[in-house]
Amino acid sequence: MSVVNLPLKDEAGAVRSPLDAAEARMFRRPSEWRIFWEAFSRDRLAAPVLSPYDPTVGDNSQRLAPIGTPGHLLGLDGQGRDILSRLVWGGQVSLVIALLPVTVASVISVLLGLVAGFFGGRVDMIIMRTLDVFFAFPAVLLAVAIAGVLGPGMLNVMLSITIVLIPYISRVAYMATVTVKSELFVDQARVSGARPRQILFHHILPNTLSPVIVYGSTLVGIMIVLGAGLSFLGLGITPPRPDWGIMCSDGRNFLSVAPHVSAVPGIMLILVAMSFNIVGDGLRDALDPKLRK
């Protein structure tokens, strides 16, 4: 049977043709998202297009070439790999390591903070006292301990950062919930007969997102530095995948003869962390009604 002669579906959506399941799947059009993802995953140019060279392939004849070398704007590292290319690819990894854990931790923390702050009592005590246990450990040491237990790898780094972030963001969400819960409009909604679920998600949740978003944006830069620090210690990203922490670590042996190998990624870490702090300040000014002019 040709494709042209395939019968149409009836009003109930049932196929009137005797085609079997295999033939039906053959002529089924894949979704737009599936088409996009398959094309994106096959296209290596969808990765950072600013990378002039392969970040994992080196040229031993130009090892430790300085900044400004023809064809290599930021020089080459100890294995002859282009530093600009590794900086671009490492930046992609660093952003994913920071943004994804902050996003996931924010979602979990908002739920925990909402439940604890709204219901109070025993629920509040169980949730917040459990999270307080994590405050007994410095964030960096806790991340190092979790990463050491889980082992190196990008997924484990993101998991360790997520666990470290949850208590801090939950505290912000909790305090915002307690503050909003005492507002007059919440009492009016309760008197008008609104259910607890409606009050929680329609009245309190929208008013607690602003401080969480602002706080989360300031954490991104810190988490980029933390993720790079874990890679520097050998607990994060594993070679040959480029990472700013690995780049700083690789350049330690050449500080006296080629300081740019470590200095370039180190300066980039500082600039990116400061940039996200500035973004956080801007979001605070935009989202806080008291600071609006």
Domain parsing of the chain, residue ranges: 89-291
Question: Where does residue 2 rank: exposed (0-12), middle (13-18), buried (19+ CB within 10 A)?
Answer: exposed
CB within 8 Å of 196: residues ≥ 6 apart:
118
Q: How far apart are CA 229 and CA 147, in angstroms?
A: 11
183, 233, 229, 232: which is closest to 206 by C-alpha? 183
Q: Quick check: 246 and 90 in contact, CB under 8 A?
A: yes
- Give CATH for domain 89-291: 1.10.3720.10
pLDDT at residue 106, rounded to an integer: 94
The tens place of each residue's pLDDT in the chain, 293 residues long, gives 444 444 544 444 444 444 444 444 444 555 544 554 455 445 444 455 667 888 888 888 888 888 988 888 898 898 889 999 999 998 888 899 999 999 999 999 999 999 999 988 899 999 999 998 988 888 889 999 999 898 888 899 999 999 999 999 999 999 999 998 888 888 888 888 888 888 888 889 888 888 898 899 889 989 999 999 999 988 888 888 888 999 998 888 888 889 999 999 999 999 998 888 888 878 877 776 555 55
Q: How far apart are CA 263 and CA 269, in angstroms?
A: 10
Q: What is the pTM of this model?
A: 0.76
pLDDT at residue 99, rounded to an integer: 92
Cα Rg of the chain (Å, integer): 26
**Three-point CA angle 248, 221, 153, nearest 5°:** 55
Q: Quick check: 109 and 166 in contact, CB under 8 A?
A: yes
To 10 degrees, what angle do helices 154-181 and 121-134 make?
A: 140
User: Which H, E and C letters describe the chain, residue by residue?
Assistant: CCCCCCCCECCCCCECCCCCHHHHHHCCCCCHHHHHHHHHHHCHHHCCCCCCCCCCCCCHHHCCCCCCECCECCCECCCCCEHHHHHHHHHHHHHHHHHHHHHHHHHHHHHHHHHHHHHCHHHHHHHHHHHHHHCCCCHHHHHHHHHHHHCCCHHHHHHHHHHHHHHHHHHHHHHHHHHHHCCHHHHHHHHCCCCHHHHHHHHHHHHHHHHHHHHHHHHHHHHHHHHHHHHHCCCCCCCCCCCHHHHHHHHHHHCCCCCHHHHHHHHHHHHHHHHHHHHHHHHHHHHCHHHCC
